[in-house]
């Protein structure tokens, strides 16, 4: 019995040791596995480390993106959305009986004419402020409706009544005026130094809904001659237009085209809808002439020669046995538009239909320097020397530019 009593405690102790060893081994293995896993993750999978807080990470902005952001911040406060509203009663027209009513024996309810004074937004566009006392540049077609009322919505949300101050008879440019002081002014750049491939930014009231929308692209071409129409039969020629692939949507008209220096280098004006990302802007240098004229005279004064012309291409000149390039004075088809305006400087200088103008003050005329842009760079009263080809004879005349008559 004594022998057995001594054996029982020994077996119990052995059991305790085995259990303890098992537990200790399990704990040690787990701890080692955890430490090894942490070490393995840190060494071989560094992206699994706990990420830093978002505010501690640098923003992923490239140098060019930073230039774009800074340019937008510079110009955006001066960009306005232009809203046109109109009395609904003026938009409502009676067309008599419903055209299918008699054919189908229908009796349709008559729509009630709107009450006088009810107004509705009819269009929208963009402009930008050029003087702190409220002078705004936009496109002429944005404010073409003389019966509409216009508002300029500032970048801070203020809505100010806007009056049309001046309309340019040559380019698609108009000036608006709001009654305010201390407004942010858009810095104007130099379009003569632009090169194809430069990054540019368009800012505007896209679709007349998304104010101060920003799109980015490049200058696709310069000195483009564009015939821009409004879809209702009216069209005009834009000389030396800037072509860009920055998205220009309805509502962007009149907004600024901006370079990376944060300067306005053009007014977004037209798009070619038969292609993709083909938009056009009026160079800001042409706009400066309009602004200076308004500030000096209270209206837009344009120099005038008084000829109707087409710019020749080498191909068209060769076909007609004319000079390789120049401005051919020609009348309109079926008498629509005379070649030489009555009483004009051109008539006084004895210019004739069929003359090909080769140079003005030593500037060779061609597709890169059309007659209209050369004359637009002059002032009323300037006396210009014109070299021309009449049939087969070259000759020179002098003409004194007059002020472009106002439209009747």
> Tens-of-pLDDT digits for all 408 residues of the chain?
333 344 444 455 544 544 455 555 554 554 544 444 444 444 444 544 555 555 566 667 888 899 999 999 999 999 999 999 988 776 655 444 444 433 334 444 555 555 666 788 888 999 999 999 999 999 999 999 988 999 999 999 999 999 999 999 788 999 999 999 999 999 999 998 899 999 999 999 988 888 889 999 999 999 887 776 555 455 667 878 999 999 998 899 999 999 999 999 999 998 887 878 899 999 999 999 899 999 988 999 999 999 999 888 877 767 766 767 899 999 865 545 789 999 999 999 999 999 999 999 999 998 778 898 899 888 899 999 999 999 889 999 999 999 998 754
Do residues 240 and 224 touch, judged by C-beta distance below 8 A?
yes
Residue 383 counted as domain residue: yes
- Set 253, 293, 344, 373: catalytic member: 253
DSSP state of 97: S
Cα(353)–Cα(316) distance, rounded to whole angstroms? 17
Residue 224 burial by Cβ neighbours in a 10 Å radius (0-12, 13-18, 19+): middle
So what's the pLDDT on residue 277? 84
Residue 104 counted as domain residue: no
The reply to whether 272 and 321 lie within a common domain is no
Cα(367)–Cα(226) distance, rounded to whole angstroms? 12
- Set 168, 172, 285, 355: catalytic member: 172
Residue 163 counted as domain residue: no
The reply to whether 245 and 325 lie within a common domain is no
Please confirm, yes or no, whether 172 is among the known catalytic residues.
yes
Q: Which tokens go with 145?
A: 């409706």
Length reported for the chain? 408
- Set 81, 123, 141, 373: catalytic member: 141
Residue 4 counted as domain residue: no
Cα(250)–Cα(202) distance, rounded to whole angstroms? 12
Residue 268: closest CA among 352, 353, 341, 205:
205
Query: 148 CB contacts (<8 Å, ≥6 apart)?
Result: 84, 85, 86, 122, 123
- CATH for 253: 2.40.10.10
Please confirm, yes or no, whether 324 is among the known catalytic residues.
no
pTM: 0.72
So what's the pLDDT on residue 105? 42
So what's the pLDDT on residue 338? 87
The reply to whether 260 and 322 lie within a common domain is no
Please confirm, yes or no, whether 297 is among the known catalytic residues.
no
Please tell me whether residue 381 adopts helix, strand or coil conformation.
coil
Residue 277: domain span: 191-297
- Angle of CA points 24, 25, 29, to nearest 5°: 120
So what's the pLDDT on residue 207? 85
Residue 247 counted as domain residue: yes
Phi, psi of 129, rounded to the nearest 5 degrees: -80, 130
Give the position of tokens 């949300």. Answer: 157
DSSP state of 132: T
Helices (H), 45-178: 63-75, 88-91, 101-104
Query: 150 CB contacts (<8 Å, ≥6 apart)?
Result: 82, 83, 84, 85, 143, 161, 162, 163, 164, 176
Residue 232 counted as domain residue: yes
Q: What is the per-residue burial (b if ≥16 Cβ within 10 Å, else e) of 43-60?
A: eeeeeeeeeeeeeeeeee
Out of 297, 330, 356, pick the residue that ends a domain.
Answer: 297
- CATH for 345: 2.30.42.10
So what's the pLDDT on residue 235? 62
* 372 CB-side CA count, 13 A: 18
Domain count, the chain: 2
Query: 243 CB contacts (<8 Å, ≥6 apart)?
Result: 219, 220, 221, 222, 224, 278, 279, 280
């Amino acid at each position: 019995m004594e022998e057995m009593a001594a054996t029982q405690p020994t077996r119990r102790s052995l059991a305790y040791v085995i259990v303890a060893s098992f537990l200790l081994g399990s704990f040690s293995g787990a701890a080692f596995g955890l430490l090894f896993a942490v070490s393995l993750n840190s060494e071989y999978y560094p992206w699994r480390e706990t990420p830093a807080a978002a505010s501690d990470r640098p923003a992923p902005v490239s140098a060019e993106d930073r230039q774009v952001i800074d340019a937008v911040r510079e110009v955006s406060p001066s960009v306005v959305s232009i809203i046109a509203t109109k009395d609904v009663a003026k938009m409502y027209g009676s067309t008599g009986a419903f055209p299918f009513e008699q054919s189908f024996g229908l009796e349709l309810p008559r729509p009630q004419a709107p009450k006088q004074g009810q107004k509705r937004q009819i269009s929208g566009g963009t402009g930008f402020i050029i003087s702190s006392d409220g002078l705004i540049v936009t496109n002429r077609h944005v404010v073409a409706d003389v019966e509409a009322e216009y508002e300029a919505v500032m970048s801070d949300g203020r809505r100010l009544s806007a009056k049309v101050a001046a309309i340019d008879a040559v380019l698609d440019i108009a000036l608006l005026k709001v009654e305010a002081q201390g407004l942010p002014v858009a810095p104007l750049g130099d379009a003569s130094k632009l090169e194809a491939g430069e990054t540019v930014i368009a800012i505007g009231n896209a679709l007349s809904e998304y104010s101060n929308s920003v799109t980015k692209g490049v200058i696709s071409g310069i000195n483009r001659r564009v015939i821009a129409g409004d879809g209702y039969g009216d069209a005009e020629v834009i000389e030396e237009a800037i072509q860009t692939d920055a998205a220009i949507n309805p509502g962007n008209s009149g907004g600024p085209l901006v370079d990376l220096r944060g300067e306005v280098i053009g007014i977004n004006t037209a798009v070619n809808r038969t292609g993709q990302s083909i938009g056009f802007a009026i160079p800001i240098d042409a706009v400066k002439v309009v602004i200076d004229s308004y500030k000096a005279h209270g209206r837009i004064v344009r120099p005038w020669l008084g000829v109707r012309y087409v710019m020749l291409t080498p191909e068209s000149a060769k076909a007609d046995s004319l000079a390789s390039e120049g401005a051919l004075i020609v009348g309109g088809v079926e008498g629509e538009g005379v070649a030489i305006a009555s009483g004009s400087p051109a008539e006084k200088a004895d210019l004739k239909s069929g003359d090909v103008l080769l140079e003005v003050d030593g500037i060779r005329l061609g597709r890169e320097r059309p007659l209209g842009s050369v004359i637009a760079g002059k002032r009323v009263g300037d006396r210009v020397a014109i070299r021309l080809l009449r049939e087969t004879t070259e000759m020179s005349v002098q003409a004194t530019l007059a002020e472009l008559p106002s439209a009747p």
